[in-house]
Amino acid sequence: MAAGTDLRVTVCRARFRALSRVHFQGQAANKLRGALGFSLDENIFRPRLEGGPSGFKNPPRPFVVHASHLDDAQFEAGGNFEVDLALFYVQPELFHQALEKTGWAELTAFQCETTHLDLSPRQEAPPRVKVVFLTPTELKGQAGQEPPEFLTLMARLRDRISGLRAFYGPGPLALDFKRFLDGASQVRLVESQAERIRGERRSWRTGQTHPLGGFAGYAVYEGGFQAYLPFLEAGFYTGVGRQTVWGHGRIAVQPMD
């Protein structure tokens, strides 16, 4: 693995037991948002751009909550459920402490494992890949196309991953950004299927309603993927697009012949 071509991610699984009846009305991450917002440091939960890398309007948050499997679920007192977290260059202990203070569930286990994702180009890659958009996805520059062209997808993944490294890790990716996107523009979208998913969140602080929708489905792309397969695989942890911190934009990649 060459210097400047990795992303450190700590994957944690939190197990809970409901203290009373718990209803994850709508998107489950909304309920967890409150618990984390009360306990995490502002620099982690709501970071501000002060002397960070240029080109970012808002810093990415260094964590992702993966809880879509709990959307609309209900648990009676004593019921058990799990939530996954992906943490980027932050200490798991901070989230352990925050999740112990939900008030509506007891944290019974918290297990983490850290790995370094190698983002350097692969020597071999399939001629086609199927990208599955597992949770609602909304990309800047998508221009209403669902799923997006490969160029748009890779531009957003590149920015997200490089931003996490630049703000919280050892620095931006060692990557020729222009060459990276020039190659992505040669990859074709050959098959797709998508459905629109609608959702919203009401802020307890401001009373404002924020849209949380997007599309889900899949896209089959054809071209050269040596430089892009590692980024697509990383998207399973980082997500891509808007609201990734709450599990939106999670993708999985499936090689095809």
**What gap in Å lies between CA 102 and CA 34, rounded to an integer?**
8
pLDDT in tens, the chain (257 residues): 777 899 999 999 999 999 999 999 888 998 999 889 989 999 999 898 765 454 556 789 999 999 999 999 999 999 999 999 999 999 999 999 999 999 999 999 999 999 999 999 999 999 999 999 999 999 987 767 789 999 999 999 999 999 999 999 999 999 999 999 999 999 999 999 999 987 655 544 445 544 567 999 999 999 999 999 999 999 999 999 999 999 999 999 999 98
User: Cis before residue 147, ω within 30 degrees of 0?
Assistant: yes
Enumerate domains of the chain plus CATH numbers.
6-117 (2.40.30), 122-256 (3.30.70.1900)
Closest CA to 228 of 129, 94, 115: 129
Q: Quick one: pLDDT at residue 58?
A: 74
Q: DSSP assignment of 176-220, as one string?
A: -HHHHHHHHTTPEEEEEEEEEE--EEE-TTT--EEE--EEEEEEE
Q: Are 212 and 136 in contact, with CB atoms under 8 Å apart?
A: yes
pTM as predicted: 0.91
Closest CA to 235 of 254, 215, 214: 254
Q: Quick one: pLDDT at residue 5?
A: 92
Q: Are 200 and 175 in contact, with CB atoms under 8 Å apart?
A: no
C-alpha of 37 from chain center: 18
Paired tokens of 240: 């891509």
Phi-psi region of 105 (alpha: psi -120 to 50; beta: other; left: phi over 0): beta
Paired tokens of 107: 């944290």
Q: DSSP assignment of 20-76, as one string?
A: S-EE--S-THHHHHHHHHHHS-HHHHS---SS--TT-SSPPPSEEEE-GGGTT-EE-
Q: What are phi and psi of 64, to 5 degrees?
A: -135, 135
Closest CA to 6 of 237, 183, 155, 165: 165
